[in-house]
Amino acid sequence: MPATKSPEDAYTAAPFLPDRLSLAALRRAAADCRGCPLHRDATQTVFGKGKAHARVMLVGEQPGDQEDRQGEPFVGPAGRLLGKALEDAGIDPADAYVTNAVKHFKFTRAEPGKRRIHKPPTLREMSACAPWLAAELTVVAPELVVVLGATAGKALLGSSFRVGDVRGTVLEREIHGRTERLVPTVHPSSVLRSDDREQAYQGLVADLKVAAQALS
């Protein structure tokens, strides 16, 4: 008997992409993305932000509560920590293009009306959103991609990605038809959650210094 196709199999942002790729056109089109169900509960699409030809692209997981409200990536606590870590590593945050593997905030609530609690995206939601990230890579064409945590790693390097295996190293991979150089590291939120925050922070900065070196 043929397997029944679930409606989830059809999740993809592909039909929402504009014909001509520019960051402005992509941002406008992404605002109306209905490629998976995450748009239903999120306030808005949070598209990437930064210079069109930034030398470095930073890829996180998905917008958090603050990002969902403000419509910009990495503007909450994890973003503030990331900005400081970039500066400590010698990368000017203003020179980076910052985005996420998934463009809508996914969350749950313990009770109706209570605080929104972040929920990790599924592989299916990540692959539905992948056309946006692929288009951002094509348009920005960064010299280096900094992969922030497991979700970004799985989105860019495949589902077997483990951040601990490759963090702080320069990888070269064929992604969406381009040869990308990538430096994986932990997600800044994991530093905020760590029991030894200082040590975790220094680890993040050390990985980002590898990225700074690769750019020099």
Binding site for ligand URA (CB under 6 A): 60-64, 67, 73-74, 76, 78-79, 100, 189
Instruction: Write down the least CB distance from residue 146 to ligand URA, Å.
Output: 12
Comparison of 35 and 60: residue with beta carbon closer to ligand URA? 60
Q: Which residues pair with 56 in a beta bridge?
A: 96, 144
Residues in the chain: 216
Instruction: Write down the least CB distance from residue 55 to ligand URA, Å.
Output: 20
Instruction: Write down the least CB distance from residue 76 to ligand URA, Å.
Output: 6
Residue nearest to ligand URA (CB): 60
Helices within 119-215 (DSSP H only): 123-140, 149-157, 163-166, 188-193, 197-215
Give Cα separations from 23 to 13, 50, 135, 149, 180 (angstroms).
16, 9, 9, 24, 19
Instruction: Write down the least CB distance from residue 77 to ligand URA, Å.
Output: 8
Phi, psi of 174 (to 5 degrees): -85, 115
Give Cα separations from 206 to 29, 85, 96 (angstroms).
37, 9, 18
Comparison of 73 and 131: residue with beta carbon closer to ligand URA? 73
Comparison of 127 and 189: residue with beta carbon closer to ligand URA? 189
Comparison of 64 and 184: residue with beta carbon closer to ligand URA? 64
Comparison of 79 and 203: residue with beta carbon closer to ligand URA? 79
CA separation for the pair 215, 122 (Å, rounded): 32
Q: How, if at all, do strands 96-100 and 56-60 pair? A: parallel
Comparison of 68 and 180: residue with beta carbon closer to ligand URA? 68
Residue 34: count other Cβ atoms within 10 Å of its Cβ.
11
Instruction: Write down the least CB distance from residue 183 to ligand URA, Å.
Output: 16
Residue with tokens 């929402």: 16
Instruction: Write down the least CB distance from residue 46 to ligand URA, Å.
Output: 6
